[in-house]
Structure 1
Amino acid sequence: MKCKENLILFVASITYAFIISVVAKPVARLISDNPSWILNLSFIVTTYFLVILPIYLIGTNNRFANFFGLHQEIEYTEVKKEETQNNRKEDSRKSKYVKLLMCFFALQASYLTWGILQEKIMTTDYVKFDGTKEKFRDSQFIVFINRVLAFTLSGIILFFQGKLNDRTPLYQYSFCSVSNILSSWFQYEALKYISFPIQVVAKSCKVIPVMVVSTAVSKKSYKKSDYFLALIISLGMIAFLNGVPSQSDVSTATTISGVILLISYLGADSFTSSWQSQLFTTYKQSEIQMMFGVNTMSVLLTTVSLFLTDGFMYSFSFMERHPIFILDCTLTAIASASGQFAIFYTIAEFGPMIFALLMTLRQGLSVLLSCIIYNHVIEPVGILGVVIIFSALIYKGTTSEKKGKSVQSPQKDEVV
Structure 2
Amino acid sequence: MAQYFAPPEGLRQKVSVFSIKSNSQSGNTETVKMLEDPSGKETREVLKLWCFDLSYMSRSWQFMTLTALTFAFYLIYGYMQELIFKLEGFQPFGWYLTLVQFAYYTVFGVAELQLKEDKKRKIPMSMYLLLAFLTVATMGLSNTSVGYLNYPTQVIFKCCKLIPVLIGGILIQGKKFSLIDITACLCMSVGLILFTLADSSVSPNFNTYGVVLISLALCADGAIGNVQEKTLKQYGASNGEMVLYSYGIGFVYILVGLVVSGSLMPAFYFCQEHPVETYGYAVIFSITGYLGLYIVLTMVKSFGALVAVTVTTCRKAVTIVLSFVFFSKPFTFQYLWSGLVVVLGIYLNLYSKNKTSWDAHIAGLLHKYGLLKRKRALEPENIV
TM-score after normalising by structure 2: 0.69
Aligned partners of 1:154 and 1:288 also within 8 Å: yes
Deviation at residue 264 of structure 1 after TM alignment: 1.2
Matched, 1:301 2:253: yes
| Secondary structure at the counterpart of residue 81 of structure 1 | strand
1:106 to 49, 61, 69: 69
| Secondary structure at the counterpart of residue 44 of structure 2 | helix
The 5 Å alignment of 1:266-277 reads 266-277=218-229
Distance 1:215 1:350 in 2: 18
Distance 2:352 2:172 in 1: 26
Aligned partners of 1:136 and 1:318 also within 8 Å: no
Amino acid at match of 1:81: T
Cα deviation, 1:187-215, whole Å, max 9, x if unaligned, reads 12222322111121122223445556778
Q: Closer, same or farther in 2 for the Cα pair 1:222/1:320, shift >3 Å?
A: closer
Q: Closer, same or farther in 2 for the Cα pair 1:226/1:339, shift >3 Å?
A: closer
Matched, 1:125 2:65: no
- The structure with the greater share of residues assigned to strand is 2
Deviation at residue 289 of structure 1 after TM alignment: 1.5
1:199 is matched with 154
Matched, 1:81 2:36: no
2:56 is matched with 91
Distance 1:191 1:152 in 2: 25
| Secondary structure at the counterpart of residue 194 of structure 1 | coil
Which deviates further from its counterpart, 178-187 or 296-305?
A: 296-305
Deviation at residue 119 of structure 1 after TM alignment: 2.2
2:339 is matched with 386
Aligned partners of 2:160 and 2:188 also within 8 Å: yes
Deviation at residue 167 of structure 1 after TM alignment: 4.0
Deviation at residue 364 of structure 1 after TM alignment: 0.7
Deviation at residue 96 of structure 1 after TM alignment: 6.1
1:366 is matched with 319
Amino acid at match of 1:147: F
Distance 1:210 1:344 in 2: 15
Matched, 1:142 2:97: yes
Q: Which has the larger radius of gyration?
A: 2
The 5 Å alignment of 1:215-364 reads 222-244=177-199, 246-247=201-202, 255-324=207-276, 325-347=278-300, 352=305, 355-364=308-317
Q: Closer, same or farther in 2 for the Cα pair 1:163/1:302, shift >3 Å?
A: farther
Aligned partners of 2:229 and 2:304 also within 8 Å: no
Deviation at residue 173 of structure 1 after TM alignment: 0.9
Q: Closer, same or farther in 2 for the Cα pair 1:246/1:383, shift >3 Å?
A: same
Amino acid at match of 1:144: L
Which deviates further from its counterpart, 266-275 or 341-350?
A: 341-350
Distance 2:68 2:133 in 1: 30
Amino acid at match of 1:200: V
1:375 is matched with 328
Deviation at residue 383 of structure 1 after TM alignment: 0.6
Cα deviation, 1:37-67, whole Å, max 9, x if unaligned, reads xxxxxxxxxxxxxxxxxxxxxxxxxxxxxxx
Aligned partners of 2:80 and 2:281 also within 8 Å: yes
Ranked by relative contact order (alpha carbons within 8 Å, sequence separation 6 or more), the top structure is: 1
Amino acid at match of 2:344: S
| Secondary structure at the counterpart of residue 375 of structure 1 | coil
TM-score after normalising by structure 1: 0.65
| Secondary structure at the counterpart of residue 138 of structure 1 | helix
Q: Closer, same or farther in 2 for the Cα pair 1:186/1:371, shift >3 Å?
A: same
| Secondary structure at the counterpart of residue 147 of structure 2 | coil
- Any stretches of 5+ residues in structure 2 without a counterpart? 1-22, 34-42, 48-53, 358-384
The percentage of counterpart residues that share the same residue type is: 18
Deviation at residue 166 of structure 1 after TM alignment: 0.5
Distance 1:259 1:240 in 2: 12
Cα deviation, 1:72-94, whole Å, max 9, x if unaligned, reads xxx9748642268175797255x
Amino acid at match of 1:139: G
Cα deviation, 1:280-330, whole Å, max 9, x if unaligned, reads 355332222211221221223333444455544333322331132221111
Which deviates further from its counterpart, 377-386 or 215-224?
A: 215-224
Amino acid at match of 2:312: M
Aligned residues: 317
Distance 2:46 2:324 in 1: 44
Deviation at residue 118 of structure 1 after TM alignment: 1.9
| Secondary structure at the counterpart of residue 144 of structure 1 | helix
Q: Closer, same or farther in 2 for the Cα pair 1:224/1:139, shift >3 Å?
A: same
Aligned partners of 1:147 and 1:299 also within 8 Å: yes
Distance 2:302 2:234 in 1: 23
| Secondary structure at the counterpart of residue 207 of structure 2 | helix
Deviation at residue 393 of structure 1 after TM alignment: 0.6
| Secondary structure at the counterpart of residue 85 of structure 1 | strand
- The structure with the greater share of residues assigned to helix is 1
Distance 2:99 2:116 in 1: 26
Query: What is the alpha-carbon root mean square deviation over aligned residues?
Result: 3.6
- Any stretches of 5+ residues in structure 1 without a counterpart? 1-74, 127-133, 405-416
2:380 is matched with none
Aligned partners of 1:243 and 1:379 also within 8 Å: yes
Aligned partners of 2:160 and 2:313 also within 8 Å: no
Cα deviation, 1:92-149, whole Å, max 9, x if unaligned, reads 55x964x555433421222112222222323x234xxxxxxx3352222211222222
Distance 1:218 1:275 in 2: 9
The 5 Å alignment of 1:208-219 reads 208-209=163-164
Distance 1:314 1:245 in 2: 30
2:36 is matched with none
Q: Closer, same or farther in 2 for the Cα pair 1:86/1:206, shift >3 Å?
A: closer
1:180 is matched with 135
Distance 1:96 1:238 in 2: 35
Distance 2:231 2:202 in 1: 44
